[in-house]
Chains A and B, each alone.
Chain A
Amino acid sequence: MDLFLLVIGSIFVNNILLAQYLGNCPFCGVSKKLGPAIGMGVAVIFVSTLASIFTWIVYHYLLEPQGLEYLKTLVFILVIAALVQFVEIFIKKQSKGLYDSLGIFLPLITTNCAVMGIALLNIKHGFDFVEMIVFSASSAAGFALAILLFASVRERLFISSVPVAMRGTAIALVTAGVMSLAFMGFAGMTN
């Protein structure tokens, strides 16, 4: 039951994008069309789950025993960057189809603060291994849901008449704000 609440909480209530506002760059950059947005969402789920596993292990078995918790931000950046690069090289060789669909998003994720944020939140909340995996995957799923909804809205915006001054990123940010307000309706449903 706790895990179910964790899933609901991390997808809707504490949506990593709309409630905590992490991962804003791909959210604005890759949300003009639905197709790439889906690709981005899937890539984030994949990478953030993998990155969380590695950072959790590094934190609990390397940094904590040495009392070096304060180094976690620096170390996580290093670990995530190396990991993403490795994953890219690996799937380019092993799975051409997956690479073609995820390929161009992987380098973008290297610097995605949502992935970093999830890794750090795992530590902050003191999750055990299972909780960590569930939280990471569902938080990333929340990101995917948000970017998917947002891309759909932007596709509609593209064909409607927007005042010149508001075109492009300006109207996108306003839209994101309105969506964020809508997600506030979930607040308080879980702890």
Chain B
Amino acid sequence: MLIPAMILGGIAVIAAVGLGVAARVFYVEEDPRIKGILDLLPGANCGGCGMAGCSACAAAIVEGKAEVNACVVGQTEVARDIAAFMGMEMQDNEPQVACPDCQGGARATRKYEYGGFDDCRAAMLFYHGPLMCDHGCLGLGTCVRACQFGAITMGDAGLPIFDPARCVGCGACVRACPKGIISIISETTKILHWNRYSECLAPCRQKCPAQVNVPKYIEHIKNGEFELALLTVKENNPLPLSTGRVCPEPCSLACRRQIEDEPVAINYLKRFAADYEMNSGKRLHVPVAPETGKKVTVVGGGPAGLSAAYYLRRLGHSVTLFEQMPDLGGMLRYGIPEYRLPKAILDWDIQGILDLGVKVRTGVSLGRDFTLDFLRAEGADAIFLAVGAWRDRELGLAEIKPDGVISGIKFLELFQEDPLTRVKGHAIVIGGGNTAIDAARTSLRAGAESVTIVYRRSRDEMPANPVEIVAAEEEGIQFRFLCAPNRFITEGDNLAGLEVLGMKLGEPDSDGRRRPFPVKGTEEVIPCELLVEAVGQMPDLDFLEKDGMPTLPTTRWNTIDAKEETLQTDVPYIFTGGDCFTGPGLMVEAISAGRFVARSIHYYMTEGEIPPIEQRQTGLVPESIFDSLVGVLPRPKVHEPVVSLEDRLGTFKEVEGTIDEEDARYEARRCLNCGTYCYDQELEAERAEDAESIAG
């Protein structure tokens, strides 16, 4: 008995001693940092980093084989902690978020009733699922179960809803979805993307110069997700409050709802979503890509410059904005009167852009205080010229203008510099654009006894927003159409009246507008003490003549010349866009130019070459061939609350108000959600009736 026990014990002792000695002799020093990092990692062992668990990830980080931000779950905070632990500088991790590519939900027609196992992959095995639409979401929620972070919920419409705040971009849902409609998209990709003909896009989205995803944000408003709606707008438009007030909505002209009744009030909805954020007082988080170390200088703080600064900053570049006026905003601040766009509201929009880390120098003018060569010497990798169109065109009626004659932009600027500026007597405004209407409505508010707009064509040819013309008429502004200024009537140095000449319309010119001809013997004098010339603007390019400027070619319209498809000028590092490239245009066009030039500058600085956009959508898809929409019941559009006439005159109070939440959701339900692959007429009719019974 003793011997077996001794042998067994002896072997055990020999083994133990042998192992003990071996552990000493062959001791391998392990990096204590591995354990330190392991403590910082979330410990989910999900494998999202592509390594076998958190310990392998920690070891890889210590060996320098993985970045400090390798952990997709921990995201920025964990990466920052690890970077601090490793004594390294933080490399910001650009968040990548899952985006669904289907908006159809329950709308697609069904091939058969599916009663099988509650899993998209199982349903997919039967003839590619129960939907007629090959593309669409099956709606059984496999992605919801695949998500370990609770970022996906199933919405009422049968579509998954992604919470960007919770999504870590691990891609579990992408792998789970058998239809392949979920993709992980970075913010950079979204900013650099432009509409293509190969995509299925709603008409409003094609028509919008800034290419805002209109159906998507309306869908969010419909579901009560106002913050997501605003984030969708901000993907393509950094100034939603201002656009929501002054944009003439080109998108609504393309709205298919017009076939049945009126277009959806898209801009009211945008304004509602933007106001929702402002009224909440809390700004939504806008992600910014990691620093690239590239420097861009933007000259001009108008909508084009602000938009470019916003997107370039979000792409991770360092941006400095130069502005000649004391405040940012350009024409939005100095050209649009307070009653249309209150400046406190514009300030909130602009602050949202500056909060991303854009540096600003105001009160400095190109050509007077600095030169382009100076900017280059200061280290700018690229320069964006967005100097706008600030020079008024003149009628040239007299060599020396009598007192009382002022140009449109100068006139509007007076009120921005001193809101209490007053005018006296009768006023005449010459021109038919928005500046003319703004000047007329402003002088009425500033105390003019009467205001007359003189325009040489008829009302149909007026380029001003129709809404503005109607509002001006309501306020009692007189219009003299087919009437051209001929000569100033003066009393000493002062203006006493304007002699006008009757006009007749001839054949349409190259713009498609009918050219007016004077009719002899129709001279007439309109007495006035104030005359505003608002007959158009053009860029002020005098700075190009100064020393220290590279030679930039200009066009015969006195705009800066650049390549249409990149907005790059002949000097490779100088880009241009907005009004100084196109001539006076809409705010939303300037915003679009800002993002477009951000794309060009980004590629120019990071890759040296600017790739063309393949199949870039420029024209619209053809109009609908249907003259009625089955299942769409006519429902009137909502109207914005408007301040009464008495309250308007004599004050600069904002005229139009924002619609309330109930109206917004009603209006959002009017959207037909075009640009989806699937459409079920019967189901749509049922839904319309349901909505009607709820609303009615």
**A interface residues, Cβ below 8 angstroms from B:** 58, 62-63, 66, 68, 71, 74-75, 78-79, 81-82, 85-86, 89-90, 92-94, 161, 164
Could you tell me the distance between the alpha carbons of A79 and B25 in the complex, rounded to whole angstroms?
Answer: 20
In the bound assembly, the distance between CA atoms of A62 and B10 in angstroms comes to 12
- B541 CB to nearest A CB, Å: 63
Judge if B26 is at the interface, Cβ distance under 8 Å. yes
- Inside 8 A of B8's CB, which chain A residues have their CB? 71, 74-75, 78
Task: Please tell me which one of the listed residues B11, B26, B119 contacts residue A90 in the complex, with CB atoms under 8 A apart.
Answer: B26
A89 to B26, Cβ gap below 8 A? yes
Which stretch of B14-22, B227-235, B439-447 is in the interface?
B14-22
Q: Say if the beta carbon of B467 comes within 8 Å of chain A.
A: no
User: Chain B: residues with CB nearer than 8 A to chain A?
Assistant: 3-4, 7-8, 11-12, 15-16, 18-19, 22-23, 25-28, 117, 119, 121-122, 125
> Could you list some 18 contacts between A and B, CB below 8 A?
A63-B7, A66-B3, A66-B7, A68-B7, A74-B8, A75-B7, A75-B8, A78-B8, A78-B11, A81-B15, A82-B16, A85-B19, A89-B19, A89-B22, A93-B25, A94-B26, A161-B122, A161-B125
Closest CB in chain B relative to A2 CB, distance in Å = 33
Q: How far, in angstroms, from A62 to B26 measured CA to CA in the complex? A: 28
Name the A residues within 8 Å of B22 (CB-CB). 86, 89-90
Residue of B whose beta carbon sits closest to that of A96:
B28
The complex places the Cα of A62 from the Cα of B6 at a distance, in Å, of 12
- Please tell me if the beta carbons of B28 and A92 are within 8 angstroms of each other in the complex: yes
CA distance A89 to B18 in the complex (A): 11
- In the complex, are the beta carbons of B4 and A71 less than 8 A apart? yes
**Once the chains are docked, how many angstroms separate the CA of A165 from the CA of B35?**
40
Which 10 A/B pairs are nearest by Cβ-Cβ distance?
A: A82-B15, A93-B26, A89-B22, A89-B26, A161-B125, A68-B4, A92-B28, A86-B22, A93-B28, A85-B19
Q: Is the CB of B11 within 8 A of A92?
A: no
Given A78-B15, A79-B15, A86-B18: A71 and B26 interface contact (C-beta under 8 Å): no
Residues of B with C-beta under 8 A to A82: 15-16, 18-19
- Number of A-B residue pairs at CB separation under 8 A: 50
Minimum CB–CB distance for A13 against chain B, Å:
34
| Separation of A89 and B22 alpha carbons in the complex (Å) | 7
Among A71, A90, A94, point to the contact of B7 (Cβ < 8 A).
A71
- CB closest chain-B residue, reference A83: B15
Chain B: CB-nearest residue to A85:
B19
Which A residues lie within 8 Å of B119 (CB)?
164
Residue of A nearest to B11 (CB): A78
Which label, helix, strand, loop or mixed, suits the secondary structure of the A interface? helix
**In the bound complex, how far is the Cα of B474 from the Cα of A66, in angstroms?**
119
Query: Which of A68, A85, A93, A164 sits near B117, CB closer than 8 Å?
Result: A164
With a cutoff of 8 Å between Cβ atoms, the chain A residues found around residue B7 in the complex are 62-63, 66, 68, 71, 75
| Residues of chain B contacted by A86 (CB below 8 angstroms) | 18-19, 22
Q: How far is the CA of A79 from the CA of B11 in the complex (A)?
A: 8
Kindly provide the distance from the CB of A67 to the nearest chain B CB, expressed in whole angstroms. Answer: 9
- Residues in B with CB closer than 8 Å to A164 are 117, 119, 122
With the chains together, A86 CA to B16 CA distance in Å? 10
Q: Which residues of B contact A66 (CB under 8 A)?
A: 3-4, 7
- CA–CA, A58 to B8, complex, Å? 11
- B23 in contact with A89 (CB, 8 Å): yes
- 16 extra interchain contacts, Cβ-Cβ under 8 A, other than A58-B11, A66-B4, A71-B7? A63-B7, A66-B7, A68-B4, A75-B7, A78-B11, A78-B15, A79-B11, A85-B19, A86-B22, A89-B22, A92-B28, A93-B27, A94-B26, A161-B121, A161-B125, A164-B122
Q: Which of A89, A93, A161 has the most B CB atoms < 10 Å from its CB? A: A89
* Smallest CB separation, A80 vs chain B (Å): 10
CB closest chain-A residue, reference B26:
A93
Q: Given the known inter-chain contacts A86-B19, A89-B23, please indicate yes or no for A75 contacting B11, CB distance below 8 A.
A: yes
Closest-CB distance, A159 to chain B (whole angstroms) = 11
B121 nearest in chain A by CB position:
A161
A99 to B538, CA, bound (A): 74
Q: In the complex, how many angstroms separate the beta carbon of A181 from the nearest chain B beta carbon? A: 28
Of all chain B residues, which has the CB nearest A164?
B117
Report the minimum CB–CB distance from B16 to chain A (whole Å): 8
In the bound complex, CA of A67 to CA of B204 (Å): 94
User: In the bound complex, how far is the Cα of B21 from the Cα of A89, in angstroms?
Assistant: 11
Note all chain A residues with C-beta closer than 8 A to B3.
66, 68
Minimum CB–CB distance from B120 to chain A (whole Å) comes to 12
Task: Give the residue name and chain of the A residue nearest to B56 (CB).
Answer: A104
Chain A residues near B19 (CB-CB < 8 A): 82, 85-86, 89
Give complex CA distance A83, B211 in Å.
69
- In the assembled complex, the CB of B108 is this many whole angstroms from the nearest CB of chain A, namely 23
Complexed CA–CA distance, A120 and B26 (Å): 31
In Å, the complex CA distance between A75 and B15 comes to 11
Closest to A94 in B: B26
Contacts of B4 in A (CB 8 A): 66, 68, 71
Q: Which residues of A contact B27 (CB under 8 A)?
A: 93
Kindly list chain A residues whose C-beta atoms are within 8 Å of the C-beta of B117: 164
Task: State the CA gap A81–B16 with chains docked (Å).
Answer: 11
A93 CA to B28 CA, complexed, in Å:
6
Q: How far is the CB of A89 from chain B (nearest CB, A)?
A: 5
Report the separation of the CA atoms of residues A82 and B18 in the bound assembly, to the nearest whole angstrom: 8
